[in-house]
């Protein structure tokens, strides 16, 4: 079976800035942090930590109250992002006579509807209720987002959910790409959504001791990837979606093409649940380049996984140095999590969109809270982007997602003349 080119014809976001793509990328290039201080009075004790939420998102307004009421927040964010990407692609929400029986959905989430289950546990154990809402399972199931997307857009092909920790949506995008490239599906809607602000989830992540500290005055700068004084990641909520389409089909209907997805590589470290290993990341990076038919010299930018953890950042840079060799010193690298936080299963999709926009706009967003004087020497050896670069020639770029469990995913994109 011949391989087809895959166009990216739709992009959709629910981000801490706004749902507007131009605004999202402008704020990233400005180095604007969306991290704020979250404080709650939840039992058994208050929660206080840096966090990223989407304060402007109104599920009822975005989806209509009847549909929104059938979803946990992670599915609401996902559905809203999916609608935005679909509209951006110029595709009608209601099938207009063309069969969509082979159009599909590939979605990523690390947590699924944890808020729905936590609400149920509260009702049972704290509020003394004997019965739960009959919607609890439907709200909480991990495939709720892709199920609703398939139903609302009448997509009759595959409807998959991927739960691979922080690599969930990157893997979802990669698997969607493979289906379009192989000719199995002419159109795939893909991406991810997560909401890690349930009290129990936040406490669990806090117990891992990988969370950056911060108060109301310091939270904006809490996430400092590659910096010598980095102290951990910052969790966030969000949703992001991409429409992947057979290139010839997209051109024939006159669609705007944001960029081209050209490669996908995966691997497993197979060594430790939480400690990353360079050998596994190197395999994923090499696989993505090979799949894309790219040489190291063809890649101008890498959107790093860059979570600002003590062990993760140096390993990622070491992996890039190993794969890119002499080219690494001139390879632009930035970690946009420093501004939009870590959306767990949605992070790969959000960063994929940032990468596609970087290629489209020929501009590289920075790693916020990082400068040449604060760079950890263990993270040196690549061209860290301390301030946005505009008007730079970008031909191809990679987006890295490296997860607990040792799962690694790398997506490769190519710029398309606009």
Catalytic choice (148, 162, 340, 342): 342
Question: Tell me: the pLDDT tens digits for 153-192?
Answer: 999 999 999 999 999 999 999 999 999 999 999 999 999 9
- Residue (of 120, 167, 166, 176) closest to 146 by Cα position: 176
Angle at 303 between CA 89 and CA 184, to 5 degrees: 45
Question: Tell me: the pLDDT tens digits for 279-313?
Answer: 999 999 999 999 999 999 999 999 999 999 999 99
Domain boundaries, the chain: 7-252, 264-414
When pLDDT is averaged across residues 190-196 and rounded to a whole number, the result is: 97
In the chain, pLDDT over 90 holds for what percent of residues? 85
Scan for tokens 């379009």, then name that residue.
Answer: 180
CA distances from 183 to 159, 245, 249 (A): 16, 10, 11
Scan for tokens 């004790």, then name that residue.
Answer: 45
Q: Assess contact for 216 and 315: CB atoms under 8 A.
A: no
Catalytic choice (148, 162, 305, 384): 305
Q: What is the pLDDT of residue 1?
A: 54
User: Is-catalytic flag, 166?
Assistant: yes
Q: Six-digit token pair at 208?
A: 């891992």
Does residue 44 have a cis bond before it (omega within 30 degrees)? yes
Q: What is the pLDDT of residue 162?
A: 98
When pLDDT is averaged across residues 140-159 and rounded to a whole number, the result is: 97
Pairing of strands 383-384, 332-334: parallel
What stretches of 69-167 show up as alpha helix (H) in DSSP? 73-88, 114-121, 136-140, 144-153
Using the predicted structure, report yes or no on whether residue 24 has a pLDDT greater than 80: yes
Q: Which CATH class is domain 264-414?
A: alpha beta
Whether domain 7-252 has CATH 3.40.50.11540: no
Phi/psi for 299 (5° steps) reads -95, 130
User: Is-catalytic flag, 342?
Assistant: yes
Question: Tell me: the pLDDT tens digits for 386-399?
Answer: 999 999 999 999 99
Q: What is the pLDDT of residue 214?
A: 85
Q: What is the pLDDT of residue 231?
A: 94
Lowest mean pLDDT among 10-19, 122-131, 407-416: 122-131
Buried-exposed string 165-203: b where 16+ CB fall within 10 A, e elsewhere: bbbbbbbbbbbbbbbbbeeebbbbbbbbbbbbbbbebbe
Average pLDDT over the chain, rounded to an integer: 95
Catalytic choice (29, 54, 166, 223): 166
Q: Around Cβ 232, how many Cβ atoms within 10 Å?
A: 23
When pLDDT is averaged across residues 206-233 and rounded to a whole number, the result is: 93
């Amino acid at each position: 079976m011949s391989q087809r080119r895959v166009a990216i014809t739709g992009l959709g976001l629910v981000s801490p800035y706004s749902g507007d793509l131009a605004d999202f990328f402008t704020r990233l290039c400005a180095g604007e942090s969306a991290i704020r201080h979250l404080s709650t009075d939840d039992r058994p004790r208050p929660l206080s930590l840096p966090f990223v939420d989407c304060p402007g998102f109104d599920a009822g307004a975005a989806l209509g109250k009847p549909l929104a009421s059938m979803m946990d927040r992670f599915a609401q964010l996902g559905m809203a992002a999916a609608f935005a990407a679909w509209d951006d692609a110029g595709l009608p929400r209601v099938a207009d006579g063309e069969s969509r029986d082979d159009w599909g959905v590939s979605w990523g989430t690390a947590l699924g509807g944890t808020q729905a289950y936590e609400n149920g546990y509260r009702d049972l154990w704290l509020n003394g209720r004997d019965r739960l809402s009959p919607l609890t399972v439907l709200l909480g199931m991990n495939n709720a987002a892709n199920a609703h997307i398939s139903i609302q857009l009448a997509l009759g092909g595959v409807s998959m959910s991927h739960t691979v920790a922080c690599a969930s949506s990157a893997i979802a995008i990669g698997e969607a790409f493979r289906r379009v490239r192989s000719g199995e599906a002419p159109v795939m809607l893909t991406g991810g959504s997560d909401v890690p602000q349930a009290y129990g989830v936040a406490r669990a992540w806090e117990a891992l001791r990988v969370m950056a500290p911060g108060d109301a005055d310091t939270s904006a700068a809490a996430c400092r990837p590659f910096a010598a004084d980095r102290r951990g990641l910052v969790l966030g909520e969000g949703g992001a979606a991409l429409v992947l389409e057979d290139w010839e089909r997209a051109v024939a209907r006159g669609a705007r093409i944001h960029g081209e997805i050209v490669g996908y590589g995966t691997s497993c470290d197979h060594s430790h649940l939480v400690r990353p290993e360079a050998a596994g990341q190197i395999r994923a990076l090499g696989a993505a380049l090979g799949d894309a038919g790219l040489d190291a010299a063809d890649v101008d930018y890498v959107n790093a996984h860059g979570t600002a953890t003590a062990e993760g950042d140096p390993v990622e840079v070491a992996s890039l140095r190993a794969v890119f060799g002499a080219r690494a010193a001139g390879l632009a690298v930035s970690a946009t999590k420093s501004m939009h936080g870590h959306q767990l299963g949605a992070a790969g999709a959000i960063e994929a969109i940032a990468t596609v926009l970087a290629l489209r706009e020929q501009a590289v967003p920075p790693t916020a809270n990082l400068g040449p004087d604060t760079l950890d020497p263990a993270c040196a050896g690549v061209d860290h982007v301390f301030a946005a670069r505009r008007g730079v020639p970008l031909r191809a770029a990679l987006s890295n997602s490296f997860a607990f469990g040792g799962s690694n995913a790398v997506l490769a994109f190519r710029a398309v003349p606009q």
